[in-house]
């Protein structure tokens, strides 16, 4: 038996990932069968649990053998992808066994993922999976007691033999107590025959009755009333057993459309073949078909749309996508595909920076950079090699409700070759009304576009900016004196930009670590945060000039296979307190794209993560942050996920001090060892032999450690019981002592049983501020 423990944040499950253990040795002294042992179908090994994988080793000669085993994921191609470091075992093969083992053998008992009790000759032997060595030669009685029944086996143990027993409910016997009146020795044989085949006879009668009723209904032409009749005949308890989530059904029914189309902006090189990705999500209750691809309810699939345009610059085209809905009807939806084509023989990069008002005109500032070893001109502006300059484009009065406009720049190279370059400017009627100081009309226009289903991120940003302007407030999220001062969403920079006071975005010396290979895709403007696995940047996406957060990973810290497994699990998490991965890629480097969190203002400086927050902070702000944190942890726990490394550097702040949890990939570091300087680590993570295995209460401990850190400005020592409660720092903080005691207790059995309990207590304290 080779035992591995799941220390990741997701359960091992054969039906999802096809996880197993693979032997990778190459010794000719032994044969290992099978070389790959998968988890049994339908089994699951949760985080913190162990599982023993059985292997049969046959020796061919004497000598020293080194065995290597690793946890792997079986790919559809039949190849395996290692998700753990290999474990090496040494074994010495001799010419025989000691004399006292000649009269004994071994019995191995397994029950798949189950841990059920085993008895040997009437005595308890342990729980499965179990290996019973040194069993005397002879007949032995083995009993495996599972919930589905009891399986009994008589095993003949021979010298040096190994017998394997696998518990199977089909082979188990279930004792059924019956009434004596049915088991009389002299009972009527006809009655005995009827009783022994009672359920078969009953089934035949019911089937014949149903067939007869249907035949009569069809003949009488009443087939359309079947559904009505059944709904009245069946008991309500049977009608409700549909196996569907009523809340999900209701949300889908009230939706205006049950299919979601999400085009992915593309970046291409002139002359290359161009195919854009289109994500299609079936939000309905019935399967749909798109391009011969069947999409089940709740499932997302990727289809491709070929682009034949080859002119350099930004472009947007509309295409009709036909599909067959759940009712078999053919429908069509018009989608808008956006893409950028880079010039064939030139290395240029450009992005929209801001709007200003000059001499009564609305001016769009476009930054363009010459990455070539020779100079060139862009709209008669000379750009030296490596130079980046801003080009002012005068905007006209918009005559339509388009969200953006496209301008043509004339590019002239040193050999007098010129061509037009199309650039996208997010200019529309709402922007024009805003600069005309018609704020109400501008706000109405943006609201109309959002209500029509346009999910362009710039719409909501400008709408929030206008609301800010109309409220004439210095802050959007107004909090009393007990909250973080100067907290506001990320719109102040945009307001200043509108008034012509914003500084231009440019690369600073602190951003030299941003990979050059990503510069055609993103233009970084600030460093947001650093954690144990990577760096988060604030950047402008070149394809559509949207500000995003880009996290660049250092894949050399841990194996890439472990990182990818955690990222795939992270992508499935969707909650308002979880940083949602919008896009990720491994080539040319590992990077992930997120929506840009708004952050908060503290001491006239914008901070994004809790790691940059000056602590302690006022109690009300700490409560709001920790409550959102607990909500996010509660969500992932209900998904069967654990975080295990909830450090301040992976917690970001959004509007209204809403925390966003990231760093699910950093939890893979725990598999290779706990970082020495990590103060949020729970006692059971440092010493599982003494404090038990990590689990849900480990995350509860880390949420409590963050709460204590925000209130006191101090960090905890996981090996010591807490000595200085919040009341030690401020006498009026005594109301927070019970939460801290209950969440960071050194004994995990004394902590909250579920994080919902902690949320309820936080809600009670927040109510006191409202009073």
Would you state the pLDDT for residue 618?
93
CA distance from start to end of the chain: 62
* pLDDT interval class at 617 (50, 70, 90): very high
Q: Report the distance separating Cα 454 and Cα 511, nearest Å.
A: 33
Predicted confidence (pLDDT) at residue 646 exceeds the cutoff of 90: yes
Least confident of 6-15, 115-124, 442-451: 6-15
Question: Nearest to residue 590, comparing CAs of 625, 636, 557, 543?
Answer: 557
Domain boundaries, the chain: 2-171, 189-231, 253-342, 509-770
Mean pLDDT of 646-662: 94
pLDDT cut 70: percent of the chain above it: 78
Predicted confidence (pLDDT) at residue 494 exceeds the cutoff of 60: no
Regarding predicted confidence, which is higher, 708 or 39? 708
**Cβ contact 404:443 at 8 Å:** no
Question: What letter does residue 606 receive in the DSSP assignment?
Answer: E
CB neighbours of 196 closer than 8 A, spacing ≥ 6?
A: none
Regarding predicted confidence, which is higher, 428 or 58? 428
* pLDDT interval class at 319 (50, 70, 90): confident
For the stretch 703-732, pLDDT in tens is 999 999 999 999 988 767 787 899 999 999
Would you state the pLDDT for residue 215?
73
**Cβ contact 711:622 at 8 Å:** yes
User: Given the DSSP bridges, would you call strands 376-378 and 330-342 parallel, antiparallel or unpaired?
Assistant: unpaired
**Cβ contact 65:27 at 8 Å:** yes
Burial class (CB in 10 A: 0-12, 13-18, 19+), 133: exposed
- Which CATH code is given to the segment(s) 253-342? 2.60.40.10
Regarding predicted confidence, which is higher, 605 or 670? 605
The domain 509-770 is classified under which CATH number: 2.60.450.10, 1.10.510.10, 3.40.50.620, 3.30.420.40?
A: 1.10.510.10
For the stretch 729-771, pLDDT in tens is 999 999 999 999 999 999 999 999 999 999 999 999 998 887 6
Query: Could you give the count of Cα atoms lying within 13 Å of 230 in the half-sphere of its Cβ?
Result: 12
Cis amide bond preceding 242, omega within 30: no
**Cβ contact 293:276 at 8 Å:** no
Regarding predicted confidence, which is higher, 98 or 362? 362
**Cβ contact 699:755 at 8 Å:** yes
Would you state the pLDDT for residue 702?
96
**Cβ contact 151:173 at 8 Å:** yes
**φ, ψ for residue 437, nearest 5 deg:** 65, 25
Would you state the pLDDT for residue 144?
86
pLDDT cut 90: percent of the chain above it: 22
* pLDDT interval class at 291 (50, 70, 90): confident
**The token pair that represents 345 in the structure block:** 């023989």
Would you state the pLDDT for residue 610?
94
Q: Please, what is the Cα angle at 550 between 457 and 532, to 5 degrees? A: 140
For the four alpha carbons of 209, 215, 218 and 220, in that order, the dihedral sign comes to: negative
Q: Please, what is the Cα angle at 690 between 684 and 693, to 5 degrees? A: 40
CB neighbours of 332 closer than 8 A, spacing ≥ 6?
A: 320, 321, 322, 323
**The token pair that represents 493 in the structure block:** 């920079």
Would you state the pLDDT for residue 550?
95
């Amino acid at each position: 038996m080779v035992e591995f423990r799941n220390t990741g944040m997701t359960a091992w499950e054969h039906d999802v990932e096809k996880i197993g253990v693979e032997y990778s040795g190459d010794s000719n002294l032994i044969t290992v069968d099978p070389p790959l042992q998968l988890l049994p179908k339908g089994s699951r090994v949760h985080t913190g649990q162990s599982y023993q994988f059985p292997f049969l080793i046959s020796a061919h000669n004497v000598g020293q053998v080194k065995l290597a085993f690793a946890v792997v994921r079986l790919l559809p191609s039949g190849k395996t992808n290692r998700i753990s470091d290999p474990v090496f075992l040494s074994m010495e093969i001799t010419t025989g066994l000691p004399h006292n083992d000649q009269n004994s053998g071994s019995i191995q008992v397994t029950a798949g993922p189950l841990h059920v009790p085993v008895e040997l000759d009437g005595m308890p032997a342990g729980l499965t999976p179990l290996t019973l060595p040194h069993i005397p030669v002879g007949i032995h009685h083995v009993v495996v007691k599972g919930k589905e029944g009891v399986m009994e086996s008589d095993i003949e143990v021979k010298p040096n033999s190994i017998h394997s027993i696998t518990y199977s409910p089909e082979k188990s016997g279930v004792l059924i107590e019956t009434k004596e009146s049915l088991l009389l020795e002299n009972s009527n044989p006809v009655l005995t025959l009827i009783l022994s085949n009672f359920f078969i006879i009953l089934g035949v009668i019911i089937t014949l009755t149903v067939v007869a009723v249907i035949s009569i209904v069809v003949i009488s032409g009443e087939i359309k009333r079947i559904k009505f009749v059944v709904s009245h005949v069946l008991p309500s308890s049977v009608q409700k057993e549909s196996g569907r989530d009523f809340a999900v059904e209701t949300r889908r029914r009230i939706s205006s459309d049950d299919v979601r189309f999400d085009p992915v902006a593309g970046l291409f090189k002139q002359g290359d073949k161009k195919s854009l990705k289109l994500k299609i999500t079936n939000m309905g209750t019935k399967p749909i078909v798109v391009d011969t691809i069947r999409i089940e309810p709740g499932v997302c699939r990727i289809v491709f749309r070929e682009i034949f345009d080859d002119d350099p610059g930004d472009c947007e085209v509309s295409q009709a996508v036909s599909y067959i809905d759940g009712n078999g009807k053919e429908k069509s939806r018009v989608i808008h595909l956006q893409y950028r084509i880079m010039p064939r023989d030139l290395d240029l990069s450009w992005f929209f920076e801001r709007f200003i008002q000059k001499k009564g005109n609305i001016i769009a500032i476009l930054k363009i950079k010459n990455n070539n070893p020779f100079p060139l001109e862009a709209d008669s502006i000379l750009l030296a090699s490596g130079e980046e300059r801003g080009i002012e484009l005068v905007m006209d009065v918009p005559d339509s409700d388009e969200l953006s406009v496209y301008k043509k720049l004339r590019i002239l190279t040193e050999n007098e070759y010129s061509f037009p370059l199309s650039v996208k400017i997010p200019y529309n009627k709402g922007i024009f009304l805003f600069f005309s100081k018609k704020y109400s009309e501008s706000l109405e226009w943006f609201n109309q576009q959002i209500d029509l289903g346009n999910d362009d991120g710039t719409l909501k940003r400008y709408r929030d900016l206008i609301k800010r302007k109309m409220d004439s407030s210095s802050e959007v999220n107004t909090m009393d004196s007990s909250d973080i001062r100067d907290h506001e969403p990320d719109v102040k920079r945009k307001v200043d930009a509108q008034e012509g006071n914003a500084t231009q975005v440019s690369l600073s010396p602190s951003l030299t670590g941003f990979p050059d290979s990503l510069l055609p895709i993103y233009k970084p403007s600030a460093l947001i945060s650093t954690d144990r696995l990577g760096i988060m940047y604030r950047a402008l996406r070149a394809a559509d000039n949207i500000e995003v957060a880009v996290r660049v990973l250092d894949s050399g810290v841990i194996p890439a296979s472990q990182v990818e497994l955690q990222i795939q699990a992270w992508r499935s998490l969707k909650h308002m307190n979880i940083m949602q991965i919008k896009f990720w890629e491994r080539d040319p480097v590992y990077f992930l794209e997120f929506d840009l969190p708004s952050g908060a203002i503290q001491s006239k400086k914008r901070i994004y993560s809790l790691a940059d927050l000056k602590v302690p902070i006022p109690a009300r702000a700490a409560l709001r942050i920790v409550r959102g944190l607990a909500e996010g942890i509660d969500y992932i726990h209900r998904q069967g996920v654990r975080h295990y490394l909830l450090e301040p550097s992976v917690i970001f702040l959004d509007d209204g001090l809403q925390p966003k949890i990231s760093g699910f990939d950093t939890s893979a570091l725990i598999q290779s060892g706990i970082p020495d300087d990590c103060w949020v680590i729970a006692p059971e993570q440092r010493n599982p032999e003494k404090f038990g295995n990590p689990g849900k209460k480990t995350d509860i401990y880390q949420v409590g450690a963050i709460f204590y850190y925000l209130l006191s400005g101090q960090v905890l020592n996981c090996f010591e019981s807490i000595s200085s409660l919040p009341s030690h720092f401020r006498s009026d903080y005594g109301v927070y002592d019970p939460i801290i005691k209950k969440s960071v207790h050194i004994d995990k059995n004394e902590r909250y049983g579920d994080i919902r309990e902690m949320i309820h207590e936080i809600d009670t304290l927040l109510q006191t501020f409202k009073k």
